Amino acid sequence: MENKEFLSLLESLSLKQTFELKLTDDKNHTFCQLTTLQLKELIKTIVDSPITQVAFNNTCTNVMEQCLVSGMDPNINIVDRLLFLIATRIQSLGEETYKAVNQETGEEITVSLADVLKKLQTNIEKSKQLFEPQLVTLNDVTLVYGIPTLLNEKRLNQEVYDNLTIDSDNMDEVRDFLGKTFMHEITKCIKSISTNDTTMEFELYTFDQRSEFIEKLPVGLIKSVISFIEKYKSLIKESLTVNDSQLSVDSSFFAL
């Protein structure tokens, strides 16, 4: 049999092995199982920025896009990606347990990933309002914001983090970087700013331009966004906490 034909046949086999997963939109989506190449790509991201995790996040988004049978939905967010990563680890690697290390005590604990996934889905169900578009108005300025979408994060990585190099010995550079990272965390949640009859859709602007707009906003508005970010991150943290140990979903999560 011809090599190309055989390789296509192998690819089609992978496409047939699927699993269903309910995302934050309350709908079931069909995903293919990971191939060995995709797993290798995920593991490669072990060399990554610990602050931005750009390589890992980009790779996960790409893999999720490749695995989603119906194609990428622009509303799929970073919590959906977390659901996918845990589910695909269970389905594709066929292992429901994971050995995690307690960072403080160094103790190794066995975690049931199925339980973690269930806990995360339960917490999402209980906090449905977090996954709706959020509104806050102050002095005729209205912000619409929500959980960052994967497309938005991908764009941030492409525009800002992909080509970023920092001299870690230069404290001014490091401070500047941390300040901008904090700003970008806020910016990537915001969908639009409205004032009187004018609405500024953020997707039409670069992240640097968006940051400029945000810097001019009253602190009271930004506080709401920060509070929202703390809430959804807290939901994630709580879902990934098992026996006082935090499960790290990063490149090491896929190391066998």
Binding site for another protein (CB under 8 A): 1, 3, 6-7, 9-11, 13-14, 17, 33-37, 39-40, 92-94, 256
Min dist. Cβ of residue 11 to another protein (A) = 5
CA distance 214 to 133: 18
Which residue bears the tokens 């910016």? 187
Residue 218 Cα to chain centre, angstroms: 28
Closer residue to another protein in complex, CB, 93/130 = 93
Could you write out the DSSP letters of every residue in 55-82? HHHHHHHHHHHHHBTT---TT-BHHHHH
Contact 153, 57 (CB under 8 A): yes
Nearer to another protein, 77 or 92 (CB): 92
Dihedral sign computed on CA atoms, order 57, 99, 91, 126: negative
The least distance separating another protein from the CB of residue 36, rounded to whole angstroms, comes to 4
Cβ of residue 20: shortest distance to another protein, in angstroms?
A: 17
Backbone φ and ψ for 184, nearest 5 degrees, come out as: -65, -30
Closer Cβ to another protein, 17 or 248, answer by number: 17
- 219 φ, ψ (degrees, to nearest 5): -60, -35
Q: Which of 13/166 has CB closer to another protein?
A: 13
